[in-house]
Chains A and B, each alone.
Chain A
Amino acid sequence: MRVVKMVSRAASSVSFLLLLALHAGALPANARASLDAPSGTLYLKSSPDADAQEALRMTTTMQAQVTGNVARVHVTQTFLNSGSDWVEGLYVFPLSAGAAVDELFMTVGDRTIRGEIQEKVQAQATYAKARSEGKQASIVDQERPNMFTTAVANIAPQSTVSIEITYLETIPYRDSRYTLRLPLAITPRYMPGARLDPAAPLAAANAAWVNAAFGTSATPERVTAPGQKVDITIELAPGFPLGSVQSLHHAAEMKDDGSGKRIHLTGTQVAADHDFELVWTPAVTDDVAAAAFAEKVGDDTFALVVLTPPNVADDAAQSREVTFIIDTSGSMQGPSIEQARAALQMGIERLKPGDLFNIIRFASDSSSLFAEPQLAGASTRILAGQFISALRADGGTEMRAPLEQALSTAPNAGYLQQIVFITDGSVGNEAELIALIHRQIGPSRLFTVGIGAAPNSYFLEQAAAAGRGSYTFIAEREQVKSRMQELFQKLERPALVDLKLRWPDDLAADVAAPIPGDLYAGDPLVILARLPRSPSANLILSGHIRGQDWTHPVAVTRVGEQSGLSKLWARERIGDLARQVQYGGDREQLRASILALALKHHLVSDVTSLVAVDTVVVRPPGSSGHVEQAPTSAPSGSYWATTGFAKTATPAGLLLDCGLACIVFGGILLWAMPRKAVAR
């Protein structure tokens, strides 16, 4: 039977053989590739690139202590060199955009070396010198305000080096809850003008763009999934009775020890493909939530004031003109575009009769639903629905054109202008876009909605700040409804306008960043100030709510309860100075101010780095070594969290059939030849 089957297959292959003969020397490209694919032979030496066995392993542990409104986070990165060569390890990792990174501890064996803050150029020279001398050294650089790089030199074969990085962060009370967010995954950034190659994000051309834009130091992200695992423990001491505590995206086990909660992720390690979010609420919510803390450092007193404006129900909502901008670029592929479509659909449904609206979509190009904003009615809503369901994620992220279009729309008198910008924010030209928004926002307000497992929160927060709006983060499809509802409630009623702050005793307060002129419902006000002495009386917040005067006294009596306020103040001031650079301020002067502040307060910044150098020379001169970069996790659901297919067929069948066909054909020819010819 088998022989019969073979012969019949051979016969069927004759036509294929003839086709091959006709095309000899002009094989179709795909056929050639597939014939070449299984070219492995037992005696061939492998190519050099295939030889690069990865020796570097990295594990991350995160421990956070939350006290009131401040989180102190310890990030421990353990670099293990499993090879027989000396390795310099690199790792690019995300942190919260407001993180005040203040300490670095390097542990080798039983020795721990504390990192020093130095000007970035000097720190890099210190590190390079130690590396060439054969000493163990490490450096923490800020690539961007929310992205950092650790480099560890001279990791000995078969040994580990632990790097502990600590930072402080304020936890605002926003939309009736406190949120601690630990970013774990990186979406590779898109640089306008560079081609998006999903298979090799930030390849050479793209990396060159990054380096040109960020002063040659940016280490390209290298993402894989689900490469990195992380172990997270949180100690929560909120300072008030808790209503609820929830880990939004990771299963967590919680223990209550009376004074607070201890939260640990279940399973010792989880894949770092989702940002971690812990949300807690107080058992009792006041109408106006305000708290103030102070810390004395030397002659100065640093104060942290946190306020949430009253939640006013307003029936007489003002008519609005809403422009929705939606990102349909390739990085939005998968669950992100679905979430974005759902969020946009909700936005359209929430519009009231009398509101004006328009939708602009963009990828490499942009287009809009209407030429001019139209009244929200039955027919325009149907058109919008069709437009939304036709949205597909593909192409680059050219944000400039749609933003300019939305910002340049002539305002209609009597309408509250609002722009709702739905994106994952994966762009590299952040500074340019923020400056554009700052310049052209006028009376409009820009609200950013971050979509996906790991949107670029830094950009979206800064864009919202420049556009005097707020930032909403939606990680999962299930959250779209509740988060968009909160945003639209906010959009429908600004809560507090003409906001002013009066310090008692005419204290010359040095506020880290200008306070916003008005607050929307649910938005927190966080004020960090440096004072010459502790205030002896209440500070007064005042403003208008629906045309009524409003004042609220806040007592700054809780001195010494919080530590690190000076660092948080310095970090906030550095952030404000950096924004001024983006808006086009005097670069040199601002840079000098940032440098002085960062050095004084021991903070990593754009111009300062932490560097730790061991005193012992460990690597013998002349021994070989190489550099390896540990990959960072890509967000779940994104292109980078999937894998493609290999070529899983050999040409054996084809070769056998062709071979048999040749022999059969030859046999037929032999048999058909005149006997005379054969005999002769």
Chain B
Amino acid sequence: MSYLPTFPVEELSKSAVVALFIAGIVCVSEAAWIHAKATLAQALIGAAWRREQAGSGSTRPWPWADTHPVARLTFGGGHNARTFTILEGSSGRNLAFGPAHDPASVVPGEPGNSVIEGHRDTHFALLRDIKVGDVLRVESLTSLSVSFKVTDIRVVDSRRARISLHADGPRLTLVTCYPFDAVAPGGPLRFIVTAERIGMPIEAHGARISSESNPGA
């Protein structure tokens, strides 16, 4: 028992406490930075969007950006409305700044499937509360404002599923990670929200159906 005092328990404990506090602060501030970046970037991108819409100045949110805003997506209405500016290209870098549009898919509002992805814990955390029948509004550079109604919500395994880029009319597919509460990122599950355009001009729709049902006429 006499050798115990020579073992520097106190010194080790002190260093451990300091190391743990430093690690803790670094981790927490890193997490805070991810959220700050997500919010700050949206403000800068929103400004770029307004410049792009006005047709003046640079459309890049910051001078060295390699992406540009393609659309604005609004959830809900009134006081609870949340609007995001969508960036082109769903790289990890873009997703850190805002929901991002998959460039393989069509621009939102065009005929076909437009795929928009977002982080489950920053921008697209609000998808947790979305319901079938909810209305989303999309403002793209070409059209003023197009409304989509949520028609389907499902969870898929990204290792087996793929998203078809084909759709008969304008479709919006929102993708985020699932479960929303998972601690570690990188899980295989995805939460998929499908929305179809509403308020299509009636005559155009009617013409399409009639020519399909009677093509030989």
Q: Do A and B bind each other?
A: yes
Is A252 in contact with chain B by the CB < 8 A criterion?
yes
Is A663 in contact with chain B by the CB < 8 A criterion?
yes
Is B132 in contact with chain A by the CB < 8 A criterion?
no
Give the nearest-CB partner of B159 in chain A. A645
With contacts A643-B105, A650-B119, A659-B28 taken as known, whether A225 is within 8 angstroms of B166 at the C-beta atoms is yes
Is A432 in contact with chain B by the CB < 8 A criterion?
no
Measured between beta carbons, the chain B residues less than 8 angstroms from A37 are 92, 185-186
Min distance, Cβ B9 to any Cβ of chain A, angstroms: 8
Measured between beta carbons, the chain B residues less than 8 angstroms from A30 are 186
| CB atoms of B117 and A646 under 8 A apart | yes
| CB atoms of B216 and A652 under 8 A apart | no
A12, B208: Cα distance in complex, Å:
56
CB proximity to B under 8 Å, residues A10-56: 12-13, 16, 30-31, 33-42, 44-46, 50-51, 53
Partner of B185, one of A34, A245, A658, A677: A34
Is A224 in contact with chain B by the CB < 8 A criterion?
yes
Partner of A648, one of B97, B166, B190: B190
CB proximity to A under 8 Å, residues B101-115: 102, 104-106, 111-112, 115
Is A246 in contact with chain B by the CB < 8 A criterion?
yes
With contacts A224-B104, A648-B177, A651-B185 taken as known, whether A673 is within 8 angstroms of B13 at the C-beta atoms is yes
Min distance, Cβ A19 to any Cβ of chain B, angstroms: 10
Is A413 in contact with chain B by the CB < 8 A criterion?
no
Partner of A649, one of B18, B37, B115, B121: B121
Q: B9-21 CB contact bits vs A (8 Å, 1 = yes)? A: 1100110111111
A650, B95: Cα distance in complex, Å:
9
Is A517 in contact with chain B by the CB < 8 A criterion?
no
Measured between beta carbons, the chain A residues less than 8 angstroms from B176 are 648-649
| CB atoms of B158 and A46 under 8 A apart | no
Measured between beta carbons, the chain A residues less than 8 angstroms from B93 are 38-41, 44, 46, 50
Sorting the interface of chain B by its residue count into under 10, 10 to 19, 20 to 34 or 35 or more gives 35 or more
Min distance, Cβ B155 to any Cβ of chain A, angstroms: 12
Min distance, Cβ B17 to any Cβ of chain A, angstroms: 5
| CB atoms of A252 and B175 under 8 A apart | no
Min distance, Cβ B208 to any Cβ of chain A, angstroms: 5
Residue numbers of B with Cβ under 8 A of A are 9-10, 13-14, 16-21, 23-32, 34-35, 37-38, 40-41, 62, 64-66, 89-97, 100, 102, 104-106, 111-112, 115, 117-122, 124, 158, 161-166, 175-177, 182-187, 190, 207-208, 211-212, 215-217
Task: Kindly list the 10 A-B residue pairs having the minimum CB-CB distance in the complex, ordered from nearest.
Answer: A34-B186, A40-B93, A659-B27, A666-B20, A662-B24, A677-B10, A659-B28, A663-B24, A649-B185, A46-B66
Residue numbers of A with Cβ under 8 A of B are 9, 12-13, 16, 30-31, 33-42, 44-46, 50-51, 53, 224-226, 244-247, 251-254, 266-267, 271, 273, 636-637, 639, 641-663, 665-666, 669-670, 673-674, 677, 680
